[in-house]
Amino acid sequence: MDYKKLIAEKLQIEGVSQQELYELITVPPNTEMGDYALPCFKFAKIMRKSPVMIAEALKNEFVTDETVCEVSAVNGYLNFKIDKTAFVSRTLEKIFAEGACYGASNEGQGKTVCIDYSSINIAKPFHIGHLSTTVLGGALYRILSFLGYRAVGINHLGDYGTQFGKLISAYKRWGVKEEIERGGIRALNELYVRFHREAEEHPEYEDEARAYFKKIEQGDEECLKLFHWFKELTLKDVEKIYELLDIHFDSYAGESFYSDKMQPIVDELREKGLLVESRGAQVVDLEEYGMSPCIILKSDGSSLYATRDMAAADYRKKTYDFDKCLYVVAYQQNLHFKQFFKVLELMGKEWAKDLVHVAYGMVSLEEGTMSTRKGNVVFLEDVINKCIEKAYTIIDEKNPDLENKEEAAKKVGVGAVIFGALYNSKIKDIVFSYDKVLNFDGETSVYVQYTCARANSVLQKGGAFGDYQIPELCAAEIELAKALSVFPNTVKEAAEKYEPSYIARFAVDVAQKFNKFYFDCKILSAEEENVKNFRLALTQATKQTLTNAFKLLGIGIPEKM
């Protein structure tokens, strides 16, 4: 039951909608005051009364029932107390009735959301910097699908540009086919790094690279064959990482896919009088909107990211007829997205308002920054494998007799990497620390997984539990049930704000409340059978809810740890 909705529907304030009331109702920090509270300060101007008088008047009008059993007015707040027995009973009934679908809804039915994420560069390392876009996009894909939306995952591959000319130049000069086949993306990266090193002494190599890229654009058979080979090698390597992270895409249409779709965009801009010349380049002037010009064509006539992104957005609208199109890209690209969104709007594309830049902060390791050109990159695969190895060592120390230690370590290690990127607000920069993400006692995925393993152990020892009546409830039981009950709302909020961290933080909160319940309440040794059955049911509900939450984040939970 959505208690906020139920309360909002029973309140009548002239000039204030039920939706506004719903959004104003909060959970007070001190639950002794009430389970929900409505601050009345915002109504003072409308009603021309003090918040204290408004709260008192609303209290006198409110009719209590078997659900909202008590209402009080305190210092301008209207406080509501829920019948705890009915509340806990309904919460458990809902979780058991819905199971793996608890938290899901059909609110997105009939709506399509395109999500552009990960978007790796062909022949360049899949490094730690790609972590956020990959797991954030993957989580949003699952969350929106869980709410009934048709999610379309797009890996907008970076497969266009002079770097391919550089690679062809480097490969023809120093490459050995067998070594590249064996080394994959790392071997290609070594060639790329060597090219930049050698080009410092031989600047003519840069001209050669541009010439090779021109040949790709012109359809030269040999150059195209090498380009497709580089692409094939890259995707083969990165697929292993996507598999580890449980990431999937519906489209791999990258930049090169739009090479024949840009001209109509350029023509339309010209027809609508939006293109102007600036230092030989063709640009759209955005000074009126507080932005620098959006460059559409360089002075040599070649396209830029904005041109390709506009062609891609147009193609996606025509192909998928999206209701929203999300771009999960670092905040450094804020201006780029503002510019090309505005240009599409000026072109009269009314759907430009449905384009959303989901910006996120940067990820770095404690060791420092990276540079692809210089070769000091940290491969994401290495980070994941190191976490799995460390997780194995910790599990082996804590539980040397555990069966399937390798499988448990894989779930713990991979989960630590994903959770480390999703736990904080997406816009924050992250300094990745192996020790922090694998802390069994911190606000980490390992802590939540260990809590689930504990719950599972209790359930295995307790066996099948029978019917129960809600007993006299203690504080720990009520707090746990309250934490479980907000999961559907949490999922909804995470989708609305494109913020999977809400679900990650929810999971930690539930784990903390379960562990308090576990230590405060006897479960298996409860004196009454009814109490034991109820507490086993609460344990089962916790395990189900945490499993659902972690599934949305892309994290598995070991049965034992």
pLDDT digits (tens, 9 = 90+) for 277-332: 998 999 999 999 999 999 999 887 777 889 999 999 999 999 999 999 999 999 99
What local confidence, expressed as pLDDT, does residue 51 receive?
96
Is 218 in a helix, a strand, or coil?
Answer: coil
Parts of the chain with a pLDDT under 50: 370-373
Nearest to 335 by CA among 401, 291, 369: 291
**Which sequence spans correspond to the domains of the chain?**
3-82, 112-263+301-365, 264-300
What local confidence, expressed as pLDDT, does residue 125 receive?
80
- The kind and range of the H/E element at 153 are strand 150-154
CB contact set of 397 (below 8 Å; sequence gap of 6+): none
Q: Please give the full DSSP string across 326-377, using - where no structure is assigned.
A: EEEEEGGGHHHHHHHHHHHHHTT-GGGGGEEEEEE--EEETTB--BTTTTB-
> In this structure, are residues 549 and 503 in contact, taking their beta carbons and an 8 Å threshold?
yes
> In this structure, are residues 434 and 497 in contact, taking their beta carbons and an 8 Å threshold?
no
- The pTM of this model reads 0.90
Question: Which sign, positive or negative, has the C-alpha torsion 134, 135, 137, 138?
Answer: positive
> In this structure, are residues 511 and 546 in contact, taking their beta carbons and an 8 Å threshold?
yes
What value, to the nearest 5°, has the Cα angle with vertex 555 and ends 551 and 556?
Answer: 85
CA distance 521 to 189: 57
- Which pair of tokens denotes residue 485? 């009950």
Nearest to 152 by CA among 340, 359, 319: 319
> In this structure, are residues 495 and 434 in contact, taking their beta carbons and an 8 Å threshold?
no
Count the alpha carbons within 13 Å of 408 in the hemisphere toward its beta carbon: 23
Nearest to 416 by CA among 382, 397, 451, 440: 440
CA distance 36 to 1: 14
Nearest to 308 by CA among 162, 156, 116: 156
CA distance 122 to 233: 9
For the chain, the average pLDDT equals 93
Burial profile 373-411: b = 16 or more Cβ within 10 angstroms, e = fewer: eeeebbbbbebbbebbebbbebbeeeeeebeebeebbbb
Side chain identity at residue 219, one-letter code: G
Q: Please give the full DSSP string across 53-111, using - where no structure is assigned.
A: HHHHHHHHHPPP-SSEEEEEEETTEEEEEE-HHHHHHHHHHHHHHHGGGTT--STTTT-
What local confidence, expressed as pLDDT, does residue 370 receive?
47
CATH number for 112-263+301-365 (one of 3.40.1280.10, 3.30.360.10, 3.30.565.10, 3.40.50.620): it is 3.40.50.620
> In this structure, are residues 268 and 310 in contact, taking their beta carbons and an 8 Å threshold?
no
- Dihedrals phi, psi of 478, to nearest 5 degrees: -65, -45
Residue for token digits 């990650």?
A: 504
Is 431 in a helix, a strand, or coil?
Answer: strand
Beta-strand relationship, 112-116 and 150-154: parallel
The CATH superfamily of 3-82 is: Arginyl tRNA synthetase N-terminal domain (3.30.1360.70)
Beta-strand relationship, 281-284 and 294-297: antiparallel
Residue for token digits 């379960």?
A: 514
Is 36 in a helix, a strand, or coil?
Answer: strand
